Chain A
Amino acid sequence: MKILVCITHVPDTTAKIAFTDNNKKFDANGVQFIIGPYDDYALARAVELKESSGGTLTVLNIGTSETEPTIRKALAIGADDAIRINAEPTDSLFVAKQIAVHAKEANYDLIMMGRESIDFNGGMVHGMVGELLGIPAISPVMKLDIEGDKATMAREIEGGKEYLELSLPFIAGCQEPIAEWKIPNMRGIMSARSKKLEVIEPVSADVAGQLEQYELPPAKGAVKMIDADNVEELVKLLKNEAKVI
């Protein structure tokens, strides 16, 4: 089985979000970048699938050279080789077109990625790539098993789960608990240094969404503390001030 895992390079979940350059640029100062947590689940399951049924596992990232340490981490976790498409991942449709052009040529059996990136939270790239390649795209996948070219999976829906059957090739947008995150071991880290990381130039595609400016939410007012013995006061506030009951 030939597997592709697409990863994002995103600020750590505890990073302080701030902007510079007149609110036009993310302030990366002091921020640690990681493999997107959802992509990390996709990668972990892909490594398991490769271990059980053989084949190859390639990781792909669309980004500038700054993302290479993140790509190397994915190689240390268990990918065989990597591709970086040398472009800023400006909007989802642009990113999807880059992935689709590469995937069409390389002919993967299975394409996996996170359900969404944790920076822009779009959660749409898997669906777009699926449409561009004319194959199914399912998300968010919580369980994925493959036997031959048949797959069974569970995806999360509002208030529960949906169980599906389909055939390869397809795309899976993944989330927990599809697999446990894998922490690279020393051997993985050593071997990742010599694994192939190919840099290719992007295909030309229009930008569909032009970022104008970032904004931070207004500061939260002070919390109103209510005495634990006076819940009636809280009920009054919820009713008359917050007007939610």
Chain B
Amino acid sequence: MSILVFIEHAEGAVKKSSLEAVSYAAAMEGDVTAIAIGSIAEDALKSAGKAGASKVLHVTDEKLEKGIIQAYANVISQAMEKIGANILVLAKSSLGDPVAARVSAKLDAGFVSNIVDLPDTSSGFQVKRSIYTGKAFANVNITTEKKILGIKKNAVELKEDGADASVEKFAANLSDADFNVKITSQDKATGEVLLPEAEIVVSGGRGMKGPENWGMIEELAKTLGAATGCSKPVSDMGWRPHHEHVGQTGVKVSPQLYVAVGISGAIQHLAGVNSSKNILVINKDAEAPFFSAADYGIVGDAFEVVPKLTAALKAAQN
């Protein structure tokens, strides 16, 4: 069974969520080929081998430096055909999702996203996907010959013990019609841990009282190697940028640890964090609904507890 995995990269390295997708494909006991588009060092691509790919196709066409969705979908469809893959696996992302949707329509391939476990092939091809923003799961049988699997973060453990993959150049036939969208600029935080990729997330809510108090959230996040997030009211009031908004209508995260500071835990916020492995809640209100969804809780004033916790974590690190 030949499987193609679309891997994304940022700042010179393959994204961890993409490597997880490679490990997912390898765990399906397939012959795994990864495909990367855009400039990245060959050595960096070999990490896909450690995660379970035997080969990496590298597309270096200059026109594809930016993520032009239609063109990427065309490249991936052609790569699937070339290696005879009936299955495409990829991680959830702002680029991967729309690309896979187009591939799905192009190839008439059933596409299921937010998959949390390996497929069950004992009768048909059944996958378990998260639905209702993490409040439930659906087991879905993909009935088409070609299939696309969108993997949710932490669906499988990342494998890092494989051999280096061989890297091969791949060029696709593209036309002008594939480039009818122009990306004029990107405005992107650099050097920070990105929220959807983070293993630990520290979020602040209205209890932080104002954007001027975010220093302690950032300090705690930095100590934990975490990304920072926030609740909806915080991004609505403009205290923090929209891309940090965690919740039903914002970013959904599934880190190993989610730390909520001064967030009461409205159902819409919980929907964005309920697949976190561990949840720590710090709130001065002992009745805050978030505590009933938490694994660890501290009732206390964030302005006292957070600096103390940061200091204790630093002490434990030394």
Question: When the two chains form the complex, which single residue of A167, A208, A214 contacts B110, counting CB atoms closer than 8 Å?
Answer: A208
Across the interface, A242 reaches (CB within 8 A) one of B94, B138, B257, namely: B257
Q: A119-B132, A156-B243 are in contact. Are A161 and B186 (CB under 8 A)?
A: yes
B95 interface residue, CB < 8 Å from A? yes
**Residues of B with C-beta under 8 A to A221:** 295
Interface residues in A197-245 (C-beta closer than 8 Å to B): 206-217, 220-221, 223-228, 231-232, 234-235, 237-239, 242, 244-245
CA distance A206 to B141 in the complex (A): 13
The answer to whether the Cβ of B299 comes within 8 Å of any Cβ in the partner chain is yes
B76: min CB distance to chain A, Å = 12
Q: How far is the CA of A122 from the CA of B145 in the complex (A)?
A: 20
Interface of B is mostly: mixed
Say which residue of A126, A128, A163, A235 sits within 8 Å of B187 (CB atoms).
A163
**A142 interfacial by beta-carbon distance below 8 Å:** yes
CB contacts between A and B, total, < 8 Å: 271
B95 closest partner in A (C-beta): A157
Nearest A-chain residue to B73, judged by Cβ: A131
How distant is A142 from chain B, measured CB to nearest CB, in Å?
A: 7
Chain A facing B: main interface SS: mixed
B138 adjacent to A120 (CB under 8 Å): yes
B102 contacts across to A, CB distance below 8 A: 127-128, 130-131, 137
Contact of A237 among B109, B138, B296 (CB under 8 A): B296
Q: What 1/0 flags go to B275-300 for Cβ under 8 Å of A?
A: 00110110000000001111111111
Contacts of A155 in B (CB 8 A): 94
> Is A96 interfacial (CB-CB < 8 Å)?
yes
B60 contacts the other chain (CB 8 A): no
Q: Interface code A89-101, partner B: CB below 8 Å = 1, 0 otherwise?
A: 0011100100000
Is the Cβ of B248 less than 8 Å from the Cβ of A118? Answer: yes
A136 to B67: give the CA distance in the assembly, Å: 13
Asked whether any CB of chain B lies closer than 8 Å to the CB of A19, the reply is yes
**Set of chain A residues within 8 Å of B242, measured between Cβ atoms:** 142, 156, 176-177
A115 vs chain B, min Cβ distance (A): 9
Most buried by A among B105, B296, B305: B105
Closest A-chain residue to B266, C-beta based? A14
Does chain A have a CB within 8 A of B108?
yes
Quick one: which of B182, B184, B309 contacts A235, CB cutoff 8 A? B309
The reply to whether A211 and B187 contact each other, CB–CB distance below 8 Å, is no
Partner of A160, one of B186, B271, B309: B186
Are B104 and A165 interface neighbours, CB within 8 A? no
Q: Is B41 an interface position by the 8 A CB rule?
A: no
CB distance B139 to A13 under 8 Å?
no
Write out the residue numbers on chain A whose beta carbons fall within 8 Å of the beta carbon of B142: 208-209
Given the contacts A92-B111, A165-B184, A212-B140, A228 and B105 also touching, CB distance less than 8 Å: no
Docked pose: A203 CA to B230 CA in angstroms: 44
Task: Indicate if A189 sits at the interface (CB-CB under 8 A).
Answer: no
Interface presence of B197 (CB below 8 A):
yes
A190 beta carbon closer than 8 Å to chain B? no
Q: Which A residues touch B132, using CB under 8 A? A: 11, 17, 118-119, 121
Query: Which of B131, B180, B292 contacts A166 (CB under 8 A)?
Result: B180
Which of B114, B196, B305, B316 meets A158, CB within 8 Å? B196
Tell whether, in the assembled complex, residue B194 and residue A123 are in contact, meaning their CB atoms are under 8 Å apart.
no
**B235 → A minimal CB distance (Å):** 9
Check: A138 CB closer than 8 A to any chain B CB.
yes
* C-alpha spacing A126/B97, complex, angstroms: 11
B277 lies within 8 A of A164 (CB): no
Residues of chain B with a CB closer than 8 A to A212's CB? 126, 139-141
What is the distance, in angstroms, from A45's C-beta to the closest C-beta of chain B? 15
